[in-house]
A and B are shown apart, each in its own frame.
Chain A
């Protein structure tokens, strides 16, 4: 449904809304959204790595739906990843998109260096998102000791600091990590200059209540270490179908940035889908609302670029939701159908009423009833059949509709008929024809000052007022007076000549009617002779 984006799918507000737990509490924090489509999204096996041009188009689409932060990839993955990331960074700055860029890295100096290279080539800062496994299972499998983890985090953070890039520690599988491990990792990250911590529900393990607990713990930890300025990210997955719920909970809990991907593309079952995330954050008032049509354009573009079909039942962007909109519209229409049986029109148009006006129209005193919303041009042409006044643009750009009101040229297409009450209106039909042809009509025809003749009525009325004020106007005065009347055929020169000639005819310096036809036409038929009384007797 693309013509009017209907915002509300749920029960309309008028019927009471159970949408959020505390509808009254107006959210203080403005939640930012991070688009991970081009990083986590590409790690999904069932997604094609789009061409660079398609990635550029996606970046613009992300801007159009209001995404604040975009991950431009994992540069260390390949030289192509570096090139693409640098190109995307440059695209963001060239197109002046209000989007901040981040890039992913393992906690190794080489990975951070790759991001630094992208930042240098792309000519803008890139926030380093360095990830490290933080759950015991990972440690067990990788046989990592705590010290090894701490040393890796410090090294990566320091490398970022040296490159002058902001650093965010991404603790993979945070929702299955022990508080002590998290504290140690966070401590070293903060000490090494991290400005952000990303909490990850990497395998979709958490439930909303768990998210609240984890965010609370992280917030308390930061407060306890005087790091209130450090911000939190939430990155969740859909394995148990709770990704969106968890994301909204994290937002409500004050997490500054929430991650999502187009159509939820991502590892395994995928990430939080960007479209419902943006839409719901908009409804909750956490950020400005995004129009459905923009979201659907974004998802269509992503579907094409990633060759990842939109699932029929995907909220908002799936075929079901789109046809639902249509059905709902049709249902509305059908509902209206029944309603309109009772009432004559779709929604009752405002009853404008009628306004009596008295005009002196081309010398005649007339009375006329008009609708308030009727323009003078519409009244003249369609109600009074004075079709000499023409319409070229109907919004005051071309002058073809010029008439005189109280002797002064006006644009009748942007003059209300009702505002002409008690005024005198002069239109081209008032210019006298033979035998005493108006000098302007005479001169315009003689100089071919009109070719198609469509702008000519407007020119004639402007010229009529001009000659009344300036009987012998200079060429510059003529040009200025006509500068609101556009002509496409003549190049204006013949019009200036004709007005000059008309002035001379009026002043008696030039003979009127030169070259008018009729000089050699056959004479009138002789009058019938009075029959002399015939000799016949009257019968």
Chain B
């Protein structure tokens, strides 16, 4: 596609796939109905930590509606998303490690019979000592949740760059801060669902609402001891995930095993409560930061100590622990850095990756510290960030930066929010706060070491003019299907109506590692362009031959291929396809993306945090604080995000607004709390509050394009980056409004009032009705 105006890329187009999804024409997993399908439910442990001594299914099997019961002994093989920490069983084998941990599964003719049966399975537990907080995990080593059973440590990371102590000593100002980021949940509107069918020919097919069909395929083979060649994994459209479906779960293994045992299709649909037990949400983190700077605003050193509450299993924990330190060294940072992070096991639902995996919590703490440093040396917080912007092409911990639109992001939000005219001048109770961040466009290295491509696409070109894009990418609402269609349509001059996208089906599509770490656009986009260019070459040669011109003189436009100077003899694309098929035979192509080798620092753990490209973000939040009720309201958020190139601007805006919504929700409302009995305080959407349409700020999303040299048409991620600094922006805005530094999330009215009282004694009078 040569001339600009005809390209789809960069223009505000439609989603294209929404109408079929909403009218039930495209089926989500729970919409699938197979003949003789059974419904299964998981039986869960009511204790925070217990050994399973006996399971008696007599009463359950007495009910004719019940067809089969399986327990941990039927699936006695460990698994885990991170190959080095496989510590989960599909159904607890010996010990259950949190209230809600799955211990058995019951298949019945209908869902109510299965549900009733879960209350008749007689399980004897021996209650074991438990740890339900970071402090208890540290102190009560006898609980023995760690791999060595001698403590509760999941992962420990200590890294240091430069000479922190010397730099701090030489600093004019050194500030300390303690922060606590409460755990939160993904709460997608669609709960987990899986269906398994063990067909007559012995082929096991599993439909699942998952973000990682490829990893699920591998773990199903490992745990069920079935050849991967005899397993097919299909991922229907997913009703939201945000990181909560990015590893294999109990329901997928249980449905598969029950299908193999009964010879009938089996469906398991999690209730909303079970969604909170599956969890893998934001890790609660207790953080201590020491930041030094000179009086002219140069950051000298950062020293961080972080304790992470990992919950019952490892999940992504090893990576989370690294990310809690490694992903902070952009966009503004100091030349000396030391962090020590320890992840503990606790008897709570396991934490994992939630949008902005592992780096949202430290970002909150660090950006608040920057605000305090700026105030201490009487410097504008935006200036402080500009002054310390990491300009070099590599960070202090060895990560390569190929494109960086950070300074433009800062300038755009500064200007859009009227920062200079309004900050500190809005009168008591109203304030502006700034914060910034950076994020990875996919992890550079696959989760299991291999030399194969990370993403791949296969194109099938049909003489009717239809091109089908078979790709492994997981469509979870972020819009990869639309992106694929747009890139192929532009490359081959097709109308979007002539492009089909078939994704995430292990029989039909080449492998993509999955929708996590914001890798979709960067890696699948490149694979898609590579494949499309192969086909384009053949069409150009076929048309060049017909028009008797040199191939380099042929260009592609919307629906046609033309030659320079012979615009009137345009060849419709379909005709070009027929010509090319006649000349070269049936058309098809594969394209793939392999991330660059040897990225990241040359030290142990130096690859974790390495990414082919980094996005940049700046937020300004405007808040009001009612000093009598303690209620914080976020009035408006300006978010400038450097996404390299907005391939589908409508979708990028959607990702920015969705990220800011989720950030504000974590700043003000959401808290995933387990009480001192090990029970979740409110495992439903009434008690676990996510904002309604009446609780959201106006959001101004500002697209910044820094054209990454390796990104597809220059594009980088936008799925997770725009969340991070929305939270500290709110914290800093609250300080501007009423002069209190809140260091514990969420900023509930009770906490705001307590901080106001501590800060200004006379505030007590106004807050309490002026008596």
Contact = CB atoms under 8 A, between A and B. Distances in A.
Direct contact of A and B (CB under 8 A): yes
Interface stretch (A13-21, A259-267, A438-446): A438-446
B496 A431 contact: no
B189 A488 contact: yes
A517 interface: yes
B684 interface: yes
A480 B58 contact: no
B58 A394 contact: no
Interface residues of B, number: 83
B271 A394 contact: yes
Nearest to A444: B18
Contacts of B240: 451-452, 454, 488-489
From B124, B186, B476, name the one whose CB has the most chain A CB atoms within 10 angstroms: B124
B526 interface: no
Interface stretch (B374-382, B656-664, B744-752): B656-664
A322 B123 CA distance: 12
A345 B16 contact: no
Counting chain B CB atoms within 10 Å of each CB, which of A304, A453, A457 scores highest? A453
B654 A448 contact: yes
A394 B119 CA distance: 20
B127 interface: yes
A397 B489 CA distance: 41
A415 B33 CA distance: 23
A517 B467 CA distance: 14
A445 B189 contact: no
Nearest to A389: B24
A455 B690 CA distance: 14
B498 A522 contact: yes
A451 B21 contact: no
B498 A521 contact: yes
A369 interface: no
Contact of B21 (A2, A330, A437, A453): A453
Interface stretch (A81-89, A194-202, A281-289, A490-498): A490-498
A485 B684 contact: no
B477 interface: yes
Consensus secondary structure, chain A interface: loop
Contacts of A483: 692-694
Contact of B189 (A344, A385, A449, A455): A455
Interface stretch (A35-43, A104-112, A143-151, A334-342): A334-342
For chain B, what secondary structure do more than half of its interface residues adopt (helix, strand, loop), or is it mixed?
loop
B534 to A, nearest CB: 22
B24 A515 contact: no
A3 B46 contact: yes
Contacts, number: 240
B482 to A, nearest CB: 9
A333 interface: yes
A492 B661 contact: yes
A398 interface: yes
Nearest to B31: A387
B190 interface: yes
A182 interface: no
A329 B119 CA distance: 13
Interface string B118-137: 01101111010100000000
A517 B46 CA distance: 53
Given A398-B189, A444-B22, A491 B122 contact: no
B418 interface: no
Nearest to A482: B693
B59 A393 contact: no
A516 interface: yes
Contacts of B237: 452-453
A490 B660 CA distance: 9
B27 interface: yes
A321 B500 CA distance: 66
A390 B56 contact: no
A346 B663 CA distance: 49
A420 interface: no
Contact of B464 (A1, A495, A522): A522
A208 B46 CA distance: 41
Interface stretch (B61-69, B223-231, B326-334): B61-69
A516 B19 CA distance: 11
A395 B189 contact: no
Contacts of A486: 189, 685, 690, 692
A500 B129 CA distance: 57
Contact of A494 (B572, B657, B686, B692): B657
Nearest to A300: B127
21 contacts: A3-B119, A326-B124, A330-B58, A346-B59, A387-B24, A390-B239, A400-B189, A448-B14, A448-B479, A453-B18, A483-B692, A483-B694, A488-B188, A488-B189, A489-B240, A491-B658, A491-B660, A494-B654, A520-B494, A520-B498, A522-B574
Interface of B: 13-19, 21-24, 27-28, 30-31, 33, 46-47, 54, 56, 58-59, 62-65, 119-120, 122-125, 127, 129, 186-191, 237-242, 271-272, 464-465, 476-479, 494-498, 558-559, 572-574, 650-651, 653-654, 657-658, 660-662, 684-686, 690, 692-694, 696, 698-699
